[in-house]
Amino acid sequence: MNDVLLSDGRGLKHVQVREYVRGLVAGAEPGAPAPSERELVHRFGVARMTVRQAMDALVVEGLLERVPGRGTFVARPRRSATRLTSFTEDMNRRGLLPESQTLLARREQAGPGVARALSLSEGDAVIHWRRLRRADGSPMCIEDAYLNEILIPGFLQAGMPTSLYDALAGRGLRPTWAEDSITADAANAEEAELLEITPGTPVLRHSRRGLAGEKVIEVSRSVYRADRFTLWVQLGQES
Ligand code: GLP
Protein backbone atom coordinates (compact mmCIF):
# COMPACT_ATOMS: atom_id res chain seq x y z
CA MET A 1 0.00 0.00 0.00
CA ASN A 2 1.53 3.28 -1.04
CA ASP A 3 -0.06 6.38 0.45
CA VAL A 4 1.57 8.61 -2.10
CA LEU A 5 -0.39 6.93 -4.88
CA LEU A 6 -3.57 7.52 -2.96
CA SER A 7 -2.97 11.18 -2.40
CA ASP A 8 -4.46 13.90 -4.54
CA GLY A 9 -4.44 17.69 -4.41
CA ARG A 10 -6.42 17.68 -1.18
CA GLY A 11 -3.99 15.55 0.79
CA LEU A 12 -3.77 11.93 1.83
CA LYS A 13 -6.89 9.87 1.46
CA HIS A 14 -6.85 8.48 4.98
CA VAL A 15 -6.73 12.03 6.31
CA GLN A 16 -9.72 12.98 4.15
CA VAL A 17 -11.65 9.95 5.38
CA ARG A 18 -10.68 10.67 8.99
CA GLU A 19 -11.76 14.29 8.81
CA TYR A 20 -15.01 13.34 7.08
CA VAL A 21 -15.82 10.88 9.88
CA ARG A 22 -14.78 13.43 12.51
CA GLY A 23 -17.27 15.89 11.00
CA LEU A 24 -20.00 13.25 10.88
CA VAL A 25 -19.69 12.23 14.52
CA ALA A 26 -19.09 15.74 15.91
CA GLY A 27 -21.76 16.37 18.48
CA ALA A 28 -23.17 12.81 18.22
CA GLU A 29 -24.24 11.07 21.42
CA PRO A 30 -21.77 8.58 22.95
CA GLY A 31 -22.77 5.11 21.77
CA ALA A 32 -24.04 6.27 18.35
CA PRO A 33 -22.70 4.00 15.59
CA ALA A 34 -19.83 5.28 13.45
CA PRO A 35 -20.17 4.85 9.67
CA SER A 36 -19.24 1.34 8.59
CA GLU A 37 -15.93 0.62 6.87
CA ARG A 38 -17.79 -0.74 3.88
CA GLU A 39 -19.79 2.49 3.52
CA LEU A 40 -16.58 4.56 3.63
CA VAL A 41 -14.77 2.32 1.15
CA HIS A 42 -17.68 2.80 -1.21
CA ARG A 43 -18.00 6.57 -0.69
CA PHE A 44 -14.30 7.37 -1.11
CA GLY A 45 -13.35 4.59 -3.53
CA VAL A 46 -10.31 3.70 -1.39
CA ALA A 47 -8.86 0.47 -0.05
CA ARG A 48 -10.22 -0.97 3.18
CA MET A 49 -6.80 -0.47 4.76
CA THR A 50 -7.02 3.28 4.13
CA VAL A 51 -10.39 3.41 5.90
CA ARG A 52 -8.94 1.30 8.73
CA GLN A 53 -6.07 3.73 9.15
CA ALA A 54 -8.49 6.67 9.35
CA MET A 55 -10.72 4.92 11.89
CA ASP A 56 -7.72 3.72 13.94
CA ALA A 57 -6.56 7.32 14.34
CA LEU A 58 -9.97 8.33 15.69
CA VAL A 59 -10.03 5.33 18.05
CA VAL A 60 -6.60 6.27 19.37
CA GLU A 61 -7.70 9.88 19.79
CA GLY A 62 -10.56 8.60 21.89
CA LEU A 63 -13.29 9.94 19.61
CA LEU A 64 -14.46 6.47 18.59
CA GLU A 65 -14.33 3.13 20.35
CA ARG A 66 -14.43 -0.40 19.00
CA VAL A 67 -16.62 -2.92 20.70
CA PRO A 68 -15.45 -6.41 19.65
CA GLY A 69 -18.10 -8.24 17.68
CA ARG A 70 -20.40 -5.20 17.55
CA GLY A 71 -18.66 -2.43 15.66
CA THR A 72 -17.35 1.09 16.11
CA PHE A 73 -19.18 3.73 18.11
CA VAL A 74 -18.85 7.31 19.30
CA ALA A 75 -16.86 7.14 22.54
CA ARG A 76 -17.63 8.70 25.86
CA PRO A 77 -15.27 11.67 26.32
CA ARG A 78 -12.19 10.81 28.34
CA ARG A 79 -10.96 13.51 30.61
CA SER A 80 -8.14 11.89 32.50
CA ALA A 81 -4.56 12.58 31.49
CA THR A 82 -2.97 10.06 29.17
CA ARG A 83 -2.13 6.88 31.03
CA LEU A 84 1.39 5.63 30.76
CA THR A 85 0.79 2.67 28.49
CA SER A 86 2.81 -0.30 27.42
CA PHE A 87 2.93 -1.44 23.82
CA THR A 88 0.51 -4.26 24.67
CA GLU A 89 -2.03 -1.87 26.18
CA ASP A 90 -1.56 0.69 23.43
CA MET A 91 -2.29 -1.87 20.69
CA ASN A 92 -5.25 -3.33 22.57
CA ARG A 93 -6.67 0.16 22.89
CA ARG A 94 -6.42 0.54 19.13
CA GLY A 95 -8.27 -2.73 18.60
CA LEU A 96 -5.10 -4.42 17.27
CA LEU A 97 -3.64 -7.74 18.39
CA PRO A 98 -0.12 -7.27 19.86
CA GLU A 99 2.60 -9.87 19.35
CA SER A 100 6.32 -9.82 20.06
CA GLN A 101 9.37 -11.66 18.89
CA THR A 102 12.52 -11.47 21.00
CA LEU A 103 15.53 -10.65 18.81
CA LEU A 104 17.98 -10.36 21.69
CA ALA A 105 17.84 -10.65 25.48
CA ARG A 106 21.11 -10.44 27.37
CA ARG A 107 23.13 -8.81 30.08
CA GLU A 108 25.35 -5.99 28.85
CA GLN A 109 27.54 -3.25 30.26
CA ALA A 110 25.87 0.13 30.08
CA GLY A 111 27.34 2.48 27.49
CA PRO A 112 27.55 6.20 28.32
CA GLY A 113 24.07 7.15 27.01
CA VAL A 114 22.20 4.28 28.63
CA ALA A 115 24.13 4.71 31.89
CA ARG A 116 23.24 8.39 32.08
CA ALA A 117 19.58 7.77 31.27
CA LEU A 118 19.33 4.98 33.87
CA SER A 119 21.26 7.04 36.45
CA LEU A 120 23.98 4.36 36.52
CA SER A 121 27.72 4.42 35.92
CA GLU A 122 29.20 3.39 32.62
CA GLY A 123 29.94 -0.34 32.65
CA ASP A 124 27.21 -1.21 35.18
CA ALA A 125 25.10 -4.24 34.32
CA VAL A 126 21.95 -3.65 32.30
CA ILE A 127 19.53 -6.01 30.60
CA HIS A 128 19.11 -5.32 26.92
CA TRP A 129 15.90 -6.69 25.42
CA ARG A 130 15.24 -6.19 21.73
CA ARG A 131 11.90 -7.14 20.26
CA LEU A 132 10.12 -6.94 16.96
CA ARG A 133 6.58 -5.96 17.86
CA ARG A 134 3.68 -6.76 15.59
CA ALA A 135 0.11 -5.57 15.52
CA ASP A 136 -2.52 -7.69 13.78
CA GLY A 137 0.29 -9.79 12.32
CA SER A 138 2.33 -6.99 10.68
CA PRO A 139 5.42 -5.26 12.05
CA MET A 140 4.69 -2.09 14.03
CA CYS A 141 8.02 -1.32 15.71
CA ILE A 142 11.40 -2.55 16.83
CA GLU A 143 11.94 -1.91 20.50
CA ASP A 144 15.18 -1.88 22.48
CA ALA A 145 14.61 -1.76 26.23
CA TYR A 146 17.46 -1.35 28.71
CA LEU A 147 16.70 -2.23 32.30
CA ASN A 148 18.61 -1.61 35.47
CA GLU A 149 19.63 -5.16 36.41
CA ILE A 150 20.13 -4.44 40.11
CA LEU A 151 16.44 -3.62 40.45
CA ILE A 152 15.21 -6.82 38.81
CA PRO A 153 17.43 -9.72 39.91
CA GLY A 154 16.83 -12.98 38.03
CA PHE A 155 14.83 -11.28 35.27
CA LEU A 156 16.56 -13.05 32.37
CA GLN A 157 16.53 -16.42 34.14
CA ALA A 158 12.77 -16.24 34.68
CA GLY A 159 12.09 -16.46 30.90
CA MET A 160 10.96 -13.49 28.86
CA PRO A 161 7.43 -12.34 29.66
CA THR A 162 4.75 -11.38 27.15
CA SER A 163 4.55 -7.86 28.56
CA LEU A 164 7.47 -6.10 30.18
CA TYR A 165 5.21 -3.74 32.11
CA ASP A 166 3.14 -6.63 33.48
CA ALA A 167 6.36 -8.32 34.62
CA LEU A 168 7.54 -5.09 36.25
CA ALA A 169 4.13 -4.64 37.88
CA GLY A 170 4.60 -8.10 39.41
CA ARG A 171 7.74 -6.76 41.09
CA GLY A 172 6.09 -3.50 42.14
CA LEU A 173 8.20 -1.65 39.57
CA ARG A 174 5.81 -0.73 36.77
CA PRO A 175 6.77 2.77 35.62
CA THR A 176 4.48 5.36 37.16
CA TRP A 177 5.73 8.20 35.03
CA ALA A 178 8.01 8.69 32.05
CA GLU A 179 9.76 11.14 29.82
CA ASP A 180 9.06 10.40 26.16
CA SER A 181 10.46 11.99 23.05
CA ILE A 182 9.62 11.44 19.41
CA THR A 183 11.61 12.28 16.32
CA ALA A 184 11.03 11.68 12.63
CA ASP A 185 13.63 9.77 10.67
CA ALA A 186 14.19 7.38 7.79
CA ALA A 187 14.55 3.62 8.29
CA ASN A 188 18.03 2.21 7.84
CA ALA A 189 18.54 -1.03 5.95
CA GLU A 190 18.40 -3.32 9.01
CA GLU A 191 15.28 -1.66 10.40
CA ALA A 192 13.61 -1.65 7.00
CA GLU A 193 14.09 -5.38 6.64
CA LEU A 194 12.56 -6.13 10.03
CA LEU A 195 9.71 -3.66 9.59
CA GLU A 196 9.03 -4.92 6.04
CA ILE A 197 9.42 -1.51 4.42
CA THR A 198 11.98 -0.14 1.99
CA PRO A 199 15.09 1.58 3.39
CA GLY A 200 14.55 5.32 3.65
CA THR A 201 10.82 5.03 4.42
CA PRO A 202 9.71 7.44 7.19
CA VAL A 203 9.77 6.08 10.74
CA LEU A 204 9.14 7.59 14.17
CA ARG A 205 11.81 7.15 16.80
CA HIS A 206 10.30 7.02 20.25
CA SER A 207 12.51 7.15 23.35
CA ARG A 208 11.29 6.62 26.87
CA ARG A 209 12.84 6.96 30.29
CA GLY A 210 10.45 5.18 32.63
CA LEU A 211 10.48 5.66 36.39
CA ALA A 212 8.79 3.76 39.17
CA GLY A 213 8.60 6.46 41.82
CA GLU A 214 12.17 7.75 42.09
CA LYS A 215 13.81 4.72 40.47
CA VAL A 216 14.67 4.80 36.77
CA ILE A 217 13.71 1.29 35.76
CA GLU A 218 13.95 1.38 31.97
CA VAL A 219 15.09 3.36 29.02
CA SER A 220 13.84 2.32 25.64
CA ARG A 221 14.21 3.19 22.01
CA SER A 222 11.49 2.16 19.61
CA VAL A 223 11.32 2.69 15.90
CA TYR A 224 7.78 2.72 14.57
CA ARG A 225 6.51 2.48 11.03
CA ALA A 226 5.23 6.00 10.42
CA ASP A 227 2.52 4.70 8.08
CA ARG A 228 1.01 2.58 10.85
CA PHE A 229 1.47 4.56 14.03
CA THR A 230 -0.16 7.78 15.21
CA LEU A 231 0.90 9.11 18.57
CA TRP A 232 -2.05 10.30 20.59
CA VAL A 233 -1.55 12.71 23.48
CA GLN A 234 -4.17 14.29 25.68
CA LEU A 235 -3.23 17.60 27.24
CA GLY A 236 -4.91 19.51 30.01
CA GLN A 237 -4.52 22.34 32.41
CA GLU A 238 -3.43 21.48 35.93
CA SER A 239 -6.20 22.25 38.38
C1 GLP B 1 6.06 0.89 25.28
C2 GLP B 1 7.20 1.75 25.83
C3 GLP B 1 8.43 0.93 26.14
C4 GLP B 1 8.08 -0.28 27.00
C5 GLP B 1 6.97 -1.08 26.35
C6 GLP B 1 6.51 -2.23 27.24
O7 GLP B 1 6.29 0.52 23.98
N8 GLP B 1 7.54 2.80 24.89
O9 GLP B 1 9.34 1.75 26.83
O10 GLP B 1 9.22 -1.09 27.17
O11 GLP B 1 5.86 -0.27 26.10
O12 GLP B 1 5.54 -2.94 26.54
P13 GLP B 1 5.00 -4.37 26.99
O14 GLP B 1 4.56 -4.25 28.42
O15 GLP B 1 3.88 -4.65 26.05
O16 GLP B 1 6.13 -5.34 26.85
Look up the CATH number of the domain holding residue 36: 1.10.10.10
Question: 114 and 55: one domain?
Answer: no
User: Is 129 close to ligand 1, i.e. is its CB under 6 Å away?
Assistant: no
CA of residue 77 to ligand 1 center, whole Å: 25
pLDDT of residue 3: 40
Alpha helical stretches, state H, 73-197: 87-93, 112-117, 164-170, 189-195
My answer on whether 108 and 160 are in the same domain is yes
Q: Is 161 a domain residue?
A: yes
Left if phi > 0, otherwise alpha if psi is -120 to 50, otherwise beta: which for 234? beta
* Residue 82, pLDDT score: 61
Residue 159 lies in a domain: yes
Same domain, 141 and 173: yes
66 within a domain of the structure (yes/no) = yes
Residue 57 lies in a domain: yes
Say whether both 69 and 121 belong to one domain: no
Q: Of 48, 74, 100, which one is at a domain's C-terminal end?
A: 74
Residues 59 and 102 in one domain: no
Total number of domains in the chain:
2
pLDDT value, residue 61: 77
Other Cβ atoms less than 10 A from the Cβ of 7: the count is: 14
Nearest CA to ligand 1 atom 2: 86
In order of 85, 93, 104, 118, 155, the CA distances from 149 in angstroms are 22, 30, 16, 10, 8
Helix or strand run (H / E) with residue 235: none
Is the distance from the beta carbon of residue 164 to the nearest atom of ligand 1 less than 6 Å?
A: yes
Q: What is the pLDDT of residue 88?
A: 94
Per-residue pLDDT of the chain (239 residues; tens, 9 = 90+): 434 344 444 568 888 999 899 888 887 888 999 999 999 999 999 999 999 999 988 888 788 998 888 889 999 876 555 678 999 999 988 888 999 999 999 999 999 999 999 999 999 999 999 999 999 999 999 999 999 999 999 999 999 999 999 999 999 999 989 999 999 999 999 999 999 999 999 999 999 999 998 899 999 999 999 999 988 777 766 55
Going from the Cα of 123 to the center of ligand 1, the distance in angstroms, rounded, reads 24
Classified as helix, coil or strand, 44 is: helix
Nearest CA to ligand 1 atom 6: 86
106 with 176, same domain: the answer is: yes
Q: What are phi and psi of 152, to 5 degrees?
A: -130, 65
Examine residue 166 and state whether it is found in any structural domain, yes or no. Answer: yes
The whole-model pTM stands at 0.71
Q: Which helix (H) or strand (E) holds 37?
A: helix 37-44
Residue 234 placed within a domain? no
> 3-class DSSP state for residue 69?
coil
Residue range(s) defining the domain that contains residue 39: 12-74
Does one domain contain both 101 and 22?
A: no
